[in-house]
């Protein structure tokens, strides 16, 4: 499902926002996703992720749950409240049942635990965002 304000709905190149405060995580994801043919931008804290998400530029957001500024769940909740439909995959090192359930209830389309298997993460991204 395309975001409401997608700049180019017929664009062949899909855009992904990777929001994580860990430079290592963003480097790995950016490298892997760019090799898959996606355009990737990054956000290093929750507030930045929230603001970049509502810009409407992204077809998918990979969102870390624990970031400075705003938590991943808070961001998704605000997006939902404000009517922004943004495909989001939650990424978290905390994988207790409550966190996973809350993520889906807030509107995340998928949940990936850290540490993650890169081929599995890419497969889930491809499923959401055929490129």
Partner 1 sequence: MNATTIGLLAVGIVFVLDIILLVGLVGLKAYHRRRIQSHESRRAAYVAILSRHLASEGSTERIAADAADDDAFIDAVIDLRNVVSGGETETLTGLVDGLGVAERQVAKLRSRFPLGRRLRAAVSLAEIGDESTAPVLIEHLADREPEIRIQCARGLGRMRITMAIDAILERLGREDPWVRVRFADTLIAYGAKATWPLTAYIRVNLGHDENRGVIEAIRVLGTIGDREVGPTLSGVLRVAADPEVQLAAIEALGLVGGPMAIPPLDHALRSSDWRLRAKAATALGHIGDPTVNRALAKRLTDDDWWVRRNSAAALASLPGGDQLLLGAMRSADPFARDAAAEALADIGALTAARQRDEAGLAGEEDLLLLEHVRAGDSVLV
Residues interacting with partner 1, by CB under 8 A? 22-25, 27-28, 31-32, 35, 114-120
Compare residues 20 and 110 and give the one whose CB is closer to partner 1.
20
Residue 85 CB, shortest distance to partner 1, in Å, is 29
Compare residues 78 and 114 and give the one whose CB is closer to partner 1.
114
Asked whether 45 and 68 are in contact (CB, 8 A), the reply is yes
What are the C-alpha distances in Å from 27 to residues 43, 49, 80? 12, 16, 28
Compare residues 117 and 127 and give the one whose CB is closer to partner 1.
117
Residue 63 pairs in a beta bridge with 19, 90
Please list, in sequence order, all residues whose beta carbon lies within 8 angstroms of the beta carbon of residue 24, skipping any fewer than 6 positions away.
none
Q: What's the token pair of residue 38?
A: 């996606």
Residue 21 CB, shortest distance to partner 1, in Å, is 13
**What's the length of the chain?**
131
Residue 99 CB, shortest distance to partner 1, in Å, is 18
Does residue 103 sit in helix, strand or coil? Answer: helix
Compare residues 19 and 86 and give the one whose CB is closer to partner 1.
19
Element (DSSP H or E) covering residue 42: strand 39-43
Residue 40 CB, shortest distance to partner 1, in Å, is 12
């Amino acid at each position: 499902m395309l975001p409401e304000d997608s700049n180019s709905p017929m664009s062949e190149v899909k855009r992904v926002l990777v929001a994580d405060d860990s430079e290592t995580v963003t480097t790995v994801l950016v490298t892997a996703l760019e090799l898959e043919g996606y355009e990737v931008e990054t956000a290093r804290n929750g507030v930045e992720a929230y603001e970049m998400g509502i810009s409407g530029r992204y077809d998918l957001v990979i969102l870390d749950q624990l970031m400075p500024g705003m938590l991943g769940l808070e961001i998704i909740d605000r997006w939902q409240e404000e009517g922004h439909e943004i495909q989001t995959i939650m990424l978290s090192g905390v994988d207790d049942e409550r966190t996973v359930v809350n993520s889906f209830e807030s509107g995340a389309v998928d949940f990936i635990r850290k540490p993650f298997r890169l081929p599995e993460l890419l497969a889930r991204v491809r499923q959401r965002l055929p490129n």
